[in-house]
Amino acid sequence: MTDIDARAAMHLSDASVSVELETQGMTLNIGPQHPSTHGVLRLVAKVEGERVMSVQPVIGYMHRGYEKLTEVRTYAQITALVNRIDWVSGFANEIPWIRAVEKLMEIEVPERAQWIRLILTEMTRISSHLLFMSSYPLELGAATPLMYALREREYVMDLIEGLTGGRFHPNFNRVGGVKPAAGGGSTQKKVSQDLPAGFFQGTREAMDRIDSVMDELDELVTGNEMVRARTIGVGVIPPEKAIEFGLSGPNARASGIDFDLRRDGEPYLPYDQVDFDVITEQTGDSFARYLVRKEEIRQAVRIVRQGIDNIKPGPLQAKVPRVLKVPKGQTYVRTENPKGEMGFYLISEGGRIPYRVKIRSASFCNLSILSWILEGALVPDLVAIMGSLDFVLGDVDR
């Protein structure tokens, strides 16, 4: 104690500002309510001066016990539940769940329904990544990109809402297909069940807008000196660490891991019939994670356009029994969510409700690297690193 006081006194008497001040360590409490935490996350950081010595994330403020709730709900009801896990990409959450049920029931989904799922998944990816494109520069101190990105995102949300009836929680998938579209009328009239008029035209226009706003954001953000200074070389994740911590999605690809479940995983939607690039970066820093998401928006736009070109008329729904009883079995289905690998391990013992559902959410694993990556970082970099991981607390806490 006295030793530290003596050293502090020595430094204080020193007039030179170039001398690094030695300060007493202190505990900094960040959150649970903090704008950079995308929900409620608390960080207990031990800092010495500007240096973070250790960080212990405290999570669970939004724990809703979904794994328990799935054990008392029917299969159809759980679809509504799972799209609240990662609430900025609700539609993409439904896919692995509904595929797991279809796999156990051995249902073949009509092709048109698969294409609609693919188009909506990619639109969800655009909307999720655009939210990152707006919030990340904001966390670095740039407020303007938010206006550009959120404005265009609204066109995508409008289309999703027009089709499914919900902006964030579409609940649009049904076991064996997709729901008859909003305003589609009776399920007996096959023509009116289909997509609302003008959906494809509207989507094409929205995709053109996304393309042009990405050019604008490129000019505004990517080349911006401040953004580059704050993100390049900050929060570097080497590939072996990414694998060890189970990082997936854009966070892993920014570290040079060339793996994308859309291309390399078990097939779940007709991604093999569309042309797209898997974006990787080698540096693994915050800027690389930004670059990967930015390019993934453009790739998603490409996929949506091809989806619209490839989709053909046909039924939206396979024949399924009125009361869903899933035969005994266990399966794991994982898909490429906008945040990374999302999977459901489903155990059915027969009957109308699952025996056990394990939810593997991408943000949970992506966030678990936080203690490791923030150790030794500077306090001002804390938000820059956290923001670059692009997590959603609903996806962490489940």
Partner 1 sequence: MTDSPPDGDLVDEAADSVEADAVETELEEIGFAAELTELVGASLWVDEFDTIRIYVARENWVESLRLARDEAGLTFFGWLSAVDWSTEVAVGEQVGEPDELIERYEVVCRLSSVTSSKGAHFFTEVPKDDAIIDSIVPLFAGAEWHEREAAEMFGITFVGHPYPLKLYLPDSFQGFPLRKSYPLLSREVKPWPGTVDVESMPAADGPSTTNVEAGDTGGDE
Residue number with CB closer to partner 1 (20 or 266): 266
Element (H, E) at 76: helix 75-82
Cβ atoms of residues 209 and 297 within 8 Å: no
Cβ atoms of residues 162 and 209 within 8 Å: no
Binding mask 104-123 for partner 1 (x = CB under 8 A): x---x-xx------------
β 51-58/42-48 pair status: antiparallel
Cβ atoms of residues 118 and 95 within 8 Å: no
Q: Choose, by CB under 8 A, the member of 20, 48, 50, 67 that binds partner 1.
A: 67
Residue 246 in the binding site for partner 1 (CB under 8 A):
yes
How many residues are listed for the chain in this entry? 398
Q: Choose, by CB under 8 A, the member of 14, 158, 330, 380 that binds partner 1.
A: 330
Residue 151 in the binding site for partner 1 (CB under 8 A):
no
Strand partners, 337: 340
Instruction: Please state the closest distance from residue 348 (CB atom) to partner 1, in A.
Output: 10
Residue number with CB closer to partner 1 (98 or 227): 98
Instruction: Please state the closest distance from residue 187 (CB atom) to partner 1, in A.
Output: 6
Q: Choose, by CB under 8 A, the member of 24, 201, 229, 356 that binds partner 1.
A: 356
Residue 95 in the binding site for partner 1 (CB under 8 A):
no
Residue 325 in the binding site for partner 1 (CB under 8 A):
no
Residue 8 tokens read as: 């502090």
Residue number with CB closer to partner 1 (123 or 269): 269
* All residues at 6 or more sequence positions from 345 whose CB lies less than 8 Å from its CB, including other chains: 100, 330, 331, 332, 356, 357, 358, 360
Count the residues of the shown chain that bind partner 1, applying the rule CB under 8 A: 67
Question: What is the phi/psi pair of residue 221, to 5°?
Answer: -105, -50
Cβ atoms of residues 258 and 242 within 8 Å: no
Token pair 């009801």: residue: 77
Residues that bind partner 1 (CB under 8 A): 59-60, 63, 65, 67-69, 71-74, 76-77, 103-104, 108, 110-111, 187-188, 190, 193, 241, 243-248, 252, 257, 259, 264-266, 314-315, 317, 319-320, 322-323, 329-334, 341, 343, 345, 347, 349-353, 355-356, 358, 360, 364-365, 368-369, 372, 397
